[in-house]
Amino acid sequence: TTLQFSLPGVPCIYYGDEAGLEGYEDPFNRRCYPWGSEDTELVEWYTSLQKARKSCLAFAGGDYRTLRAENGVFAFTRNRGCCRAMTLVNMGNDDVLLELSCNDKVLIQANCEQNNNSLRVLGEGCVIIELGEA
């Protein structure tokens, strides 16, 4: 979902995905929305992704550039005018260490450890950072 909300294009969420609704074989391929029984953690995650996307203009038609695509790590930047953002998803076995400037703003993170000016993205972790001017 981190990639879905930060890659070029418009994120498309099939109804109920944000609530943890599962799809099965016909005729149970999509049941009624689970009002009152939503996966609240998942709803909060989707809400956070939406807020991160809306808060940074780089995701509104910004240019795309791949930084890294190897060993289970995928990282890219989006740039629009003076607004820049970086997304990193780590599906590899090794942690990825990012050095942050004092002007960088972490918009969303999962499975990360942050210390002062560095951020360690653990396996199955992700981060979206609005990059400040160096």
Supply the pLDDT for residue 7.
96
pLDDT of residue 134: 57
Give the pTM.
0.90
H/E segment holding residue 46: helix 40-55
d(CA 33, CA 84): 37
CA-nearest of 71, 72, 70, 107 to 86 is: 107
Residue 22 backbone dihedrals phi, psi, to 5 degrees: -100, 155
pLDDT of residue 109: 96
Dist. CA 89–CA 74, nearest whole Å:
5
pLDDT by 10-residue block (mean), the chain, 134 residues: 95 90 77 90 96 94 94 96 96 95 95 93 97 79
Q: How many CB atoms lie within 10 A of CB 86?
A: 21
Q: Give me the pLDDT at residue 24, please.
A: 77
pLDDT for 72 equals: 96
Q: What phi, psi does 41 have (nearest 5°)?
A: -65, -40
Q: Compute how many other C-beta atoms are within 10 angstroms of the C-beta atom of residue 97.
A: 11
Residue pair 123/91 in contact (Cβ under 8 Å)? The answer is yes
Type of residue at 127: V
3-state secondary structure of 23: coil
